[in-house]
């Protein structure tokens, strides 16, 4: 349903950024490079299995992420951002910057440095191309089972 709304420059972002879970998936892939379904499940703060599956397929349809078999473990699917997805990095960077300025967000020191140094986008890109690189952020807070 492309609808009748192409006059505003941010409308095409709405389906991604109008949704909390899509945003979290993108953030996680951007910070870590590759992730399997299971890793995303435990990383995102308590996303349900059906929601994750739904968002992954929508993001894949939108050409923002892509999946492929894990060459080392045939059972797993590895998800990563496409070029189009990686290009969302500047948006995330500005979000991180805003949060740090206006709310008491406490990103990891490493992330702060990246944002300051303007290398966030570049690092996110490298991470999607080279899976040997470590994540930008620790494995995740892993929210307590509510």
Kindly state the helix (H) or strand (E) to which residue 127 belongs, with its residue range.
helix 120-129
**Rounded Cα gap, residues 91 and 18, in angstroms:** 13
Total chain residues near DNA (CB under 7 A): 22
Does position 116 bind a second copy by CB under 8 A?
no
Could you give phi then psi for residue 62, rounded to 5 degrees? -80, -5
Among 4, 5, 75, 144, binds DNA (CB under 7 A): 75
Q: How far is the CB of 138 from DNA (least distance, A)?
A: 20
Q: How far is the CB of 36 from DNA (least distance, A)?
A: 3
β-bridge mates for residue 36, sequence order: 78
Q: Which C-beta is closer to a second copy: that of 80 or that of 93?
A: 93
Site string for DNA, 10-49 (x = CB under 7 A): ---------xxx--------------xxx--x----xxxx
Among 91, 125, 133, 135, binds a second copy (CB under 8 A): 91
Does position 39 bind a second copy by CB under 8 A?
no
Does position 98 bind a second copy by CB under 8 A?
yes
Among 19, 39, 60, 70, binds a second copy (CB under 8 A): 19
Label residue 77 exposed, middle or buried (CB < 10 Å: 0-12, 13-18, 19+): middle
- The b/e string for 106-124 (b: 16+ C-beta within 10 A; e otherwise) is ebeeebeebbeeeebbebb
* Residue pair 80/31 in contact by the 8 Å Cβ criterion: no
Binding site for DNA (CB under 7 A): 19-21, 36-38, 41, 46-51, 53-54, 56-57, 67, 75-77, 146
């Amino acid at each position: 349903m492309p609808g009748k709304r192409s006059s505003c420059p941010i409308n095409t972002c709405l389906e991604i950024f109008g949704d909390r879970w899509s945003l979290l998936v993108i953030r996680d892939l951007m910070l870590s490079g590759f992730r399997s379904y299971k890793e995303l499940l435990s990383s995102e703060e308590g996303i349900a299995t059906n929601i994750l599956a739904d968002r992954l397929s929508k993001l894949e349809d939108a050409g923002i992420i892509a999946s492929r078999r894990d060459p080392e473990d045939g059972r797993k699917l590895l998800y990563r951002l496409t070029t189009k997805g990686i290009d969302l990095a500047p948006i995330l960077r500005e979000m991180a910057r805003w949060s740090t300025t206006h709310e008491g967000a406490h990103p990891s020191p490493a992330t702060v440095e990246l944002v300051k140094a303007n290398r966030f986008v570049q690092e996110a890109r490298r991470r999607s191309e080279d899976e040997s690189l470590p994540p930008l952020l620790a494995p995740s807070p892993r929210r307590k089972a509510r």
